Amino acid sequence: MVGKTVKRIYMGLIFLFLYAPILVLIIYSFNESKSRGHWGGFTLKWYDELFRDPAIIKALYYTFLIALLSSLISTIIGTLAAIGIHNLGTISKKIVLNINYLPVLVPDIVTGVALMTLFISMKMNLGFLTMLISHVMFNIPYVILSVLPKLRQMNRHITEAALDLGAKPFYALYRVVIPEIMPGVVTGAIIAFTLSIDDFVISFFNTGSGVTNLSIVIFSRARRGIKPTINALSTLMLITVAILLLVINKRTSKGDELIP
């Protein structure tokens, strides 16, 4: 009994250590006073000021535009790639899967610098296109890891039956395979969207003048001192990402595993 109590206290202290800074940030986003050491009363003026800031609105526009486009493109490419990997031989599949794990395991800064070097060597101007491409390349492995388990669960004889009944390969893919793996596809799309919204490192190294996202704006402004509007912006981003993570967890709890 004592051991269980100690374990609960220990876990409580860990969660307090992890989430106390986030709770403080959220609370002070509603603080009337600009001082972080004084509570001046409840207010929503920092949220109002936040949405009156043209730089924030511009960053918000690029953040969601790139997140939507990158998640859509990476979901299409990742789904097709997962289907191709699923149909490979045993040895070839293991090799390709290990290659697919590399971008997931490699630190983001390595991926960001590598992509920036590639774009510069190709004489591409850093901006919207390079940021979009970098987000797509970063998201594809996660989509593949989301779709592959559903392919493994699918009865492959269904596709063979459709082909035997006269369906063309593309028609069988569209009408038989995709509906069967749709839960994994949707989960992969949500993960890609979440990663794109939350990304800073890869965006920082692969963007150019005039194109920025919320993570970069928060970083650049935080270096000049944390203002209440930054607390409000961070709170909104936390809530958005938390909602998406809850959706992902709910889907994975129903059997849509992310790792094959």
Kindly report, residue by residue over 82-130, the tens digit of the pLDDT.
999 988 888 888 898 888 888 888 888 899 999 999 999 998 888 899 9
Helices (H), 45-177: 45-50, 54-86, 90-105, 108-121, 128-153, 156-164, 169-172
The model carries a pTM of 0.80
Q: What pLDDT shows up at residue 22?
A: 83
For the stretch 127-173, pLDDT in tens is 899 999 999 999 999 999 999 988 888 877 777 777 777 777 777 77
Q: What pLDDT shows up at residue 36?
A: 66
Element (H, E) at 7: helix 2-28
Instruction: Kindly tell me if the per-residue pLDDT of 258 is higher than 60.
Output: no
* Residue type (1 letter), 255: G
- 31 forms beta bridges with 42
